[in-house]
Amino acid sequence: MRKLILPDKSEREFDEKLTVYDIIGEISKGLQREAVGALLNGKTLGMQDVPGEDGEFKILKFEDKEGKQIFWHTSAHLMALAIERMFPGVKFAIGPSIDQGFYYDFDTPHRFTPEDLLNIEEEMKKIVKEGYEMERYEMDRDEAIKHFKEMDEKYKVDLIEHFPEGEVISFYKLGEFVDLCRGPHLKDVSKIKAVKLLSIAGAYWRGDENNEMLQRIYGITFPKKSELDSYLNMIEEAKLRDHRKIGKELDLFSFHEEGPGFPFFHPNGMIVRNELLNWWRGVLQERGYGEILTPMILNEELWHKSGHWDHYKENMYFTKIDDADYAIKPMNCPGSTIVYRTNLHSYKEFPLRLSEFGLVHRHELSGALHGLFRVRSFTQDDAHIFCLPEQIEDEVFKMIDLADYLYSTFGFKYTLELSTRPDDYMGDLETWEMAEGALKAALEKKNMPYKINPGDGAFYGPKIDFHLQDAIGRDWQCGTIQLDMQMPVNFDLTYIDANNERKRPVMLHRAMFGSIERFLGILIEHFAGKFPLWMAPVQVEVIPVSEKTNEYAQKVYEELKNKGFRVEIDTRNSQMGAKIRDAQMRKINYMLILGEKERDNGSISVRTRNNENINDIKLDKFMEDLSEEIKEKRMDL
């Protein structure tokens, strides 16, 4: 019998041959109608899967993150069946779920068009009405390769040939379409009530530009049409907020073919970036951090010692100096250990908190690059805390509080995930279990709700990940707290304890922004380019109504500039309405409209970018209010 612990902590036994679908049916027929899969000890199972162990069992619905992945993975098969029917001879590559929907890569001489997408949608809806179930079965390796060779499906053959020895070769059949797939899946496609195919793109097989160029179709599905309508509305809003579009309009940053994936920040972008980092430096200083800066290039031997060579080499860039091998750092942690071991440390110094805004480089496939969200060079707001084992919990508490302060400052809601030991890990199981237990205990003692993200920890330790929700409900993974017992061993880090003996410190890694570039991209979209006053590249635009008030406008401009405000003046020979529209397009916080009345009264009239007006006030009072708004770091938009 299979012993399962349900979310209410009750324990029930089930026949060990039952599928997830059957188990949920025994628990509740009502839940069976809503369920899309289950979690067993944090691992996602589809409705056809048979639980292979005892443990904690949670029923998944579409609302759950893992539930959406099951739903969208099944939808990729649904789209593939529709395309197989409509375009005979197409070759199938891969079709995974992604954060927002799914895609499938196809090899066919036919060039897909937007009109094709509409027709494929209709065919998918017809298939849903036909009521097919997802049927799972297995083959041995040789049989599976033979099967796909006979079907002339070379991409499936390639996938199987790269599977590790002993890998279970599983298939899922939907109608007449049979696909190589690990799952997990819905029991059938009847729950897929709303379908939208979003776009067509090119993609190299295995992301390698030396391989075939395939056609990729992106799509998304929902159990209700109203949910699809809400999503499409969000997409339209997201287009208006696209940080790449706004970045160009506000002259914040750019990308160029001379360095694909390497962002170029312009003066306006550097103002936003520097204001953010200067504020954060002050926050860290108040909390006992000392700032360091470590080299961007370090010798290859270091990366062998740190474990990156064995566990992260494919993501790194390399170079030579004086015929010796060096690597461009993908992470800041090894440099921090070198700073630590420069001096002999006492337990009395702990916790020792070292922060670093470190520029790192990581190799990303060209197809994965996306504005500031996924780049090949970025700055991490890293920190490494060296502490005693008994200080771990308190330091994790402080980091959670620090993250909460950061995200709440900008109005972000967030959720937490505990990411556990990956397959490619460094160290011994006992140490990993202790580290995972310490993070789990800290979260529970702090009373922080969290989800388990199995197998997604760093190769050197488990981590707590922070997922932000922006103004239109999109999720972004940013902050992380990592507990590392391995790096201190690899670099032989020690301290002198109360008995004057050498002991090994614990090392905590943390980044709250994560990538400064990604966080800036999120902020740009969150604010739709309407930065709070303290971050804005241009805070005030002085607009004379006519040439008669240019001299007065220049005087106002000089006073604002001398007080340290970021101010511009528009003395172009243009209509006032055009000047105001231009300032609003550049999302400038305040426009000072100066006509003859204001000149004669020695006053100003203020117009906000949201078309609010304040007439006939004194400049000194306006500057006093601005100074207060900046000092308080208000988030008024």
> Which amino acid is present at 31?
L
Residue 253 domain flag: no
pLDDT at 12 over 80: yes
pLDDT digits (tens, 9 = 90+) for 435-486: 999 999 999 999 999 988 888 898 889 999 999 988 777 888 899 999 998 9
Residues 352 and 473 in one domain: yes
Question: How does residue 164 score in pLDDT terms, banded at 50, 70 and 90?
Answer: confident
The pLDDT value given to residue 564:
96
Co-location of 603 and 463 in the same domain: no
What is d(CA 83, CA 77) in angstroms, rounded to the nearest whole number? 10
Alpha carbon distances (Å) from 76 to 51, 142, 156, 175, 183 = 24, 26, 16, 14, 11
- State the DSSP code for 461: B
| Average pLDDT over all residues of the chain | 93
Contact 295, 302 (CB under 8 A): no
Assess contact for 204 and 96: CB atoms under 8 A: no
Give the DSSP per-residue string, 275-327. Answer: HHHHHHHHHHHHTT-EE----SEEEHHHHHHHSHHHHTGGG-EEEEETTEEEE
Q: Are residues 94 and 45 in the same domain?
A: no
Encoded amino acid at 324, one letter: A
Same domain for 605 and 493: no
> Using CA atoms, how far apart are residues 406 and 286, in angstroms rounded to an integer?
14
Q: Where are the alpha helices (DSSP H) in 49-107?
A: 65-86
User: What is the DSSP secondary structure assignment for residue 7, as one 8-state letter?
Assistant: T
Give the residue-averaged pLDDT of 177-204. 94
Residues 6 or more apart from 437 whose CB is under 8 A from it?
Answer: none
Side-chain half-sphere CA neighbours of 204 within 13 A: 10
**Is 384 among the annotated ligand-binding positions?**
yes
Distance CA 560, CA 589 (A): 14
Q: Is the peptide bond before 51 cis (omega within 30 degrees of 0)?
A: no
Domain match, 562 and 617 both: yes
Q: Between vectors from CA 636 to CA 478 and to CA 625, what angle results, nearest 5°?
A: 130
Domain boundary among 44, 60, 76: 60
Distances (CA, A) of 63 to 30, 60, 128, 187, 238: 16, 8, 21, 17, 21
Q: What is the CATH number of the domain that holds 438?
A: 3.30.930.10
In a domain? residue 207: yes
pLDDT tops 90 at residue 509: yes
CATH of the domain at 125: 3.30.980.10
The catalytic residue positions are: 333, 362, 380, 382, 384, 463, 509
What are the C-alpha distances in Å from 279 to residues 32, 354, 411? 51, 17, 16
Q: What is the pLDDT of residue 637?
A: 61
Question: Is 478 known as a binding-site position?
Answer: no
What confidence tens digit (pLDDT) does each residue in 265-274 have? 999 999 999 9
Range with the poorest average pLDDT among 165-174, 192-201, 300-309: 165-174
Nearest Cα to Cα of residue 361 among 440, 437, 263: 263
- pLDDT of residue 237 exceeding 70, the answer is yes
Tokens of 513: 């922004």
At residue 473, the pLDDT reads: 79
Q: Are residues 407 and 425 in the same domain?
A: yes
CATH assignment at residue 551: 3.40.50.800
382 backbone dihedrals φ, ψ, rounded to 5°: -75, 155
Whether 536 has a pLDDT exceeding 80, the answer reads yes
Task: Give domain status of residue 321, yes or no.
Answer: no
Last residue of a domain, one of 490, 509, 525: 525
- CB under 8 A, 24+ apart: contacts of 145-150: 148/180
- Percent of the chain with pLDDT strictly greater than 70: 100
Residue 315 maps to a domain? no
Number of domains comprising the chain: 4
pLDDT at 258: 94
545 occurs within a structural domain: yes
In a domain, 303, yes or no: no
User: How many other CB atoms sit within 10 Å of the CB of residue 19?
Assistant: 18
Q: Is residue 85 located within the same domain as residue 42? A: no
φ and ψ of 310, to 5 deg: -85, -25
CATH number of the domain encompassing residue 37? 3.10.20.30
- Residue 52 CB: number of other CB atoms within 10 A? 11
Whether the link from the prior residue into 184 is cis, omega within 30° of 0, is yes
550 and 409 assigned to the same domain: no
What's the Cα-to-Cα distance from 72 to each of 367, 521, 577, rounded to whole Å? 21, 26, 49
Q: How many CB atoms lie within 10 A of CB 382?
A: 24
Give the dihedral of Cα atoms 131, 132, 134, 138; nearest 10 deg.
Answer: 160
**Residue 313 within a domain:** no
Give the count of beta carbons closer than 10 Å to the beta carbon of residue 53.
11
- Tell me the residue range of the domain where 37 lies: 1-60
| Residue 363, marked binder | no
Mean pLDDT of 1-18: 91
CA pseudo-torsion sign 148, 149, 153, 155: positive
Has residue 194 got a pLDDT over 70?
Answer: yes
Whether the per-residue pLDDT at 559 is higher than 80: the answer is: yes
Q: Are 5 and 143 in a shared domain? A: no
| Residues 87 and 197 occupy one common structural domain | yes
Cβ-contact 470, 519 below 8 angstroms: no
409 and 508 co-located in one domain? yes
Q: Given 25, 60, 95, which residue is the final one in a domain?
A: 60
Region of poorest pLDDT, from 5-9, 69-73, 177-181, 357-361: 5-9
Angle (nearest 5°) at CA 43 between 40 and 49 = 70
pLDDT digits (tens, 9 = 90+) for 274-306: 999 999 999 999 999 999 999 999 999 999 999
102 and 44 housed in the same domain: no
For residue 299, what pLDDT is reported? 95
> Model confidence over 560-584: pLDDT tens digits?
999 999 999 999 988 888 999 999 9
